[in-house]
Amino acid sequence: MGDRTKREMTATSIILGVILAVVFGAANAYLGLRVGLTVSASVPAAVISMGLMRFLLRRDSILENNMVQTIGSAGESLAAGAIFTLPALFLWAQERPDSFAAPGILQVTMIALAGGVLGVLLMVPLRRPLIVEEGKTLIYPEGRACAGVLKAGESGGAGALTVFTGLGVAAVAKFITGWLRWIPETFLWPVKSLRVAMGFEVSPALLGVGYIIGIKTATLLFGGALLGWCVIMPAVTLFHPSAAALWDAGNVKGVWSGYVRYVGAGAIALGGFISLMRSMPLFVRTFRTALTKGRGDGTCDHAGGRDMPMRLVLAGVVCVVAFIWAAPAIPTGFSGALLIALFGFLFAAISARMVGLVGSSNNPISGMTIATLVVAALALKTSGTTGPAGMIASIAVGSIVCIVAAIAGDTAQDLKTGYLLGATPWKQQAGELVGVIASALAIGGVLLLLHKAWGFGSDAISAPQATLMKVIIEGIMEGGLPWELLAIGAGIAALLALLRIPVMPVAIGIYLPFGLNAAIFAGGVLRWLVEQRRGKSDEGEDNGTLFSAGLIAGEGLCGILLAILALL
């Protein structure tokens, strides 16, 4: 491999990556505020990088392309963490202007910056146990898809044609459903007599994710959806008068978001703790080795492939936590900073595992944030910090942890791509830091601009996730949180663990919409049918996987384009 193809972290890759990070962050901020979901930007960033670098700038280093997508994809993840929580501060300022002041650009930027940097640093010691040692268990669908896109683009020929065919099909489908609206994006069929509901999302990207993760995980997700929508939903509508009133009024989504989703959040919270406890011995060994060797993991996966030095990582984590404690714009106090350090590591590890199972687009960040908000609000209320001060501090803690989890998941996907391509881990980790810093400097202006244009909570940008977080904080500080639903979810998780059934995929299936799980399940079934006919592919880069990578890229690119057009 010549010097030309070994180029990795160059001025060109940094500049292009920063531009993509800002663009993806702005576009996905609008998209998430509108529909409550964001589009994973790793594969779209890889496709754009490949097009710009190879065909426009005539540079064909696959590692340089990988660095562009590593930096660029950070914008989407940071935006997701910010929009799921911070708009709650704007909503309170609208509803109670006498008690709450709307946050400024500086406050939003500092919260985003702290969460983004902390998320990257906490992922460094987790790379080897998750990406290398559990490489066969944790699939990392977007990471594999991204590597497939870059390899196909480098080699050209049939592989590239397969990827771009999938990209074109998904882009056309997304344009028809998302812009022309000739076909609805979501079908939902309630059966009133049975009080159950089923549905399906018209999403090529979800089919691609299902194909990549395979039939086992896809079935567990779908099983969780059946449990949530065909067992828990009729149960709550039978025994809970408010849920029954929503069902009788035809508001099926209201029953899901107001009741079933809390059960899923409780299952995710306990399932995450169970998952972390089971993995704790491996994590402890990793940290001990890292501290002894004085670097990320003391080994090389590829020539020169080392992590950032562990002493530097630990010093960075301490500095960020101290910054959170001392910065007036982040009103968490000492106890809040400690909670951020604890839950930051906990959910960074959980998020990095989750994206390995179901992909970044389906990472239940809001479920982890709910668990953080509950603990933070209870701790603050117990210590006597209540009212507006306690509510703002709770959201600040939840926002930073939410961003940490989102960035850790994105970093894990990118490191998986780099591992498959032979990239240098510490350079990718440095690239992630560049991406989160650039995105954090831009996200404050983006949020204020969107709020000024339409107002959070309006039909244009309803901010559904942030509204849920706001309700949870109000419920704890002022009463009314449905503890019984969270307890039911935790009980389901405990039962699954006792039966030795993987908890997190089922919990995610309960928490996410039925149509999303059904589309992923369809993709898993499709892969199973292909494997029955042609046999399994050990490499995971057959034509079906490459086509699925194109589907993920095509819908992501078109979704971002539609968001930009709508914003304009």
Q: Mind listing the pLDDT tens digit for each residue in 456-481?
A: 887 667 787 787 788 788 888 887 77
Both structure tokens of 560: 């971002």
- Give the C-alpha separation, 272 to 287, whole Å: 20
pLDDT for position 214: 83
Q: Which range is least confidently modeled, 220-224, 333-337, 537-541, 542-546? A: 537-541
258, 362, 302: which is closest to 6 by C-alpha? Answer: 302
Domain limits, the chain: 7-567
For the chain, report the end-to-end CA distance as a whole number of angstroms.
Answer: 44
Q: What percentage of the chain reaches a pLDDT higher than 70? A: 86
5 pLDDT more than 80: no
What local confidence, expressed as pLDDT, does residue 260 receive?
92
> Two tokens at 154?
């480098």
Please name the residues in contact with 432: beta carbons below 8 A apart, sequence gap of 6 or more. Answer: 70, 71, 74, 120, 407, 410, 411, 414
pLDDT confidence band for 45 (50 / 70 / 90): confident
- Reply yes or no on whether the pLDDT at 299 is more than 50: no
Tokens of 537: 């592919």
More confident residue, 163 or 270: 270
What's the pLDDT at 286? 53
pLDDT at position 295, please? 45
**Average of pLDDT values for 551-559?**
77
Q: What pLDDT shows up at residue 351?
A: 83
Average pLDDT, the chain: 82
pLDDT in tens, 254-267: 898 889 988 988 88
Reply yes or no on whether the pLDDT at 303 is more than 60. no
Quickly count: other Cβ atoms within 10 Å of residue 309's Cβ: 16
Mean pLDDT of 15-20: 91
What does the pLDDT read at residue 497?
Answer: 92
Residue 388 Cα distances to 131, 163, 370, 391, 534, angstroms: 42, 51, 19, 5, 61
What radius of gyration do the chain's Cα atoms show? 22
pLDDT tens digits, one per residue of 177-215 = 877 778 887 888 888 878 888 888 888 888 888 888 889
Answer yes or no: is pLDDT of 540 > 50.
no
Q: Say how far apart CA 370 and CA 367 lie, in whole Å.
A: 5
Residue 70 confidence (pLDDT): 93
For the beta carbon of residue 237, count every other beta carbon within 10 angstroms.
22
Whether the pLDDT of residue 537 is over 60: the answer is no
Neighbouring C-alpha atoms within 13 Å toward the C-beta of 477: 22
* pLDDT-derived band at 36, boundaries 50, 70, 90: low
pLDDT the model gives residue 3: 47
DSSP secondary structure, 39-107, as one string: ---HHHHHHHHHIIIIIIS----HHHHHHHHHHHHHHHHHHHHHHTTTHHHHHHHHH-TTT-----HHH
Compute the distance between CA of residue 177 and CA of residue 180 in angstroms, rounded to an integer: 6
Q: In this model, does residue 390 exceed pLDDT 50?
A: yes
CA pair distance 90, 87, nearest whole angstrom: 5
* Count of H-run helices and E-run strands, the chain: 25, 2
Give tens-digit pLDDT for 268-285: 878 877 876 776 675 566
Residue 234, pLDDT > 60, answer yes
Residues 307-326 have a mean pLDDT of 92
